[in-house]
Structure 1
Amino acid sequence: MIQPSALAPLIDHTLLKADATKAEIEALCKEALAYRFYSVCVLPVWVEDAVSFLRGSSVKVTTVIGFPLGGNLPLIKAKEAEKAVKEGAHDIDMVICLGKAKEHKFRYIKEEIEAVIKAAKPPCLKVILETCNFDPEEIRSLCTASKEGGADFIKTSTGFGKGGALVETIALLKECVGGQLGIKASGGIKNYSQASSLLEAGATRIGSSASVFLMKEAAEFRV
Structure 2
Amino acid sequence: MAAATIDVPRWTGPLPTRDQVAKMIDHSLLRPELTPADVAAGLAVALEHRTASVCVRPADVAAAAAALRGSDVAVGTVVGFPHGGGTTATKVFETGDLVSSGAQEIDMVIDIGRLRGGDVAFTQDEIAAVVHAAQGRPVKVIFENCYLTDQEKVAGYQAAEAAGAAFVKTSTGFAGGGATAADIALMRRTVSRAVQVKAAGGVRTLDALLALHHLGATRFGATTTASILADLERRLAGEGGNRWTP
Shared fold (TM-score greater than 0.5)? yes
1:159-198 alignment to 2 at 5 Å? Answer: 159-198=173-212
Q: Is the 8 A contact 2:106 2:134 kept in 1?
A: no
Show structure 1 runs of 5+ residues with no match.
Answer: none
Alignment partner for residue 154 of structure 1, among 152, 156, 168? 168
Q: Deviations over 1:49-76 (max 9, x none)?
A: 0011111111111000000000000000
Q: Is the 8 A contact 1:79 1:120 kept in 2?
A: no
For residue 21 of structure 1, what is the amino acid of its counterpart? T
CA RMSD, 1 decimal: 1.1
**SS, match of residue 17 in structure 1:** coil
Tell me, in whole angstroms, the C-alpha distance in 1 between the residues paired with 2:192 and 2:228.
27
**SS, match of residue 194 in structure 2:** coil
Tell me, in whole angstroms, the C-alpha distance in 2 between the residues paired with 1:119 and 1:165.
27
1:110-125 alignment to 2 at 5 Å? Answer: 110-125=124-139
Q: State the Cα distance separating 1:122 from its structure 2 match.
A: 4.4
Q: State the Cα distance separating 1:211 from its structure 2 match.
A: 1.1
Question: Does 1 or 2 have the higher relative contact order (CA < 8 Å, sep 6+)?
Answer: 2
**SS, match of residue 28 in structure 1:** helix
1:3 corresponds to 2:21: no
Q: Is the 8 A contact 1:85 1:122 kept in 2?
A: no
Tell me, in whole angstroms, the C-alpha distance in 2 between the residues paired with 1:192 and 1:211.
9
Q: State the Cα distance separating 1:200 from its structure 2 match.
A: 0.6
Q: Is the 8 A contact 2:106 2:139 kept in 1?
A: yes
Tell me, in whole angstroms, the C-alpha distance in 2 between the residues paired with 1:194 and 1:125.
24
**SS, match of residue 40 in structure 1:** strand
1:204 corresponds to 2:214: no
For residue 47 of structure 1, what is the amino acid of its counterpart? V
1:45-194 alignment to 2 at 5 Å? Answer: 45-194=59-208
Q: Percent identity, please.
A: 37
* Match in the other structure for 2:3: none
Q: Is the 8 A contact 1:91 1:122 kept in 2?
A: no
Q: State the Cα distance separating 1:178 from its structure 2 match.
A: 3.1
Q: Deviations over 1:3-59 (max 9, x none)?
A: 142100110000111121211111111111111101000000000000111111111
Structure (1 or 2) with the larger CA radius of gyration: 2
1:17 corresponds to 2:17: no
Q: Is the 8 A contact 1:130 1:157 kept in 2?
A: yes
Q: Is the 8 A contact 1:66 1:72 kept in 2?
A: yes
Q: Deviations over 1:136-179 (max 9, x none)?
A: 11111001110111111100000011100111110110000131
For residue 3 of structure 1, what is the amino acid of its counterpart? P
Bigger mean CA deviation after superposition, 212-221 or 183-192: 212-221
**SS, match of residue 159 in structure 1:** coil
Q: Is the 8 A contact 1:129 1:157 kept in 2?
A: yes
Show structure 2 runs of 5+ residues with no match.
Answer: 1-12, 237-241
**SS, match of residue 128 in structure 2:** helix
Tell me, in whole angstroms, the C-alpha distance in 2 between the residues paired with 1:166 and 1:78.
30
Q: Is the 8 A contact 1:81 1:92 kept in 2?
A: yes
**SS, match of residue 77 in structure 2:** strand
The aligned length equals: 223
For residue 148 of structure 2, what is the amino acid of its counterpart? F
Q: State the Cα distance separating 1:218 from its structure 2 match.
A: 1.3
More helix by share: 1
Tell me, in whole angstroms, the C-alpha distance in 2 between the residues paired with 1:107 and 1:19.
36
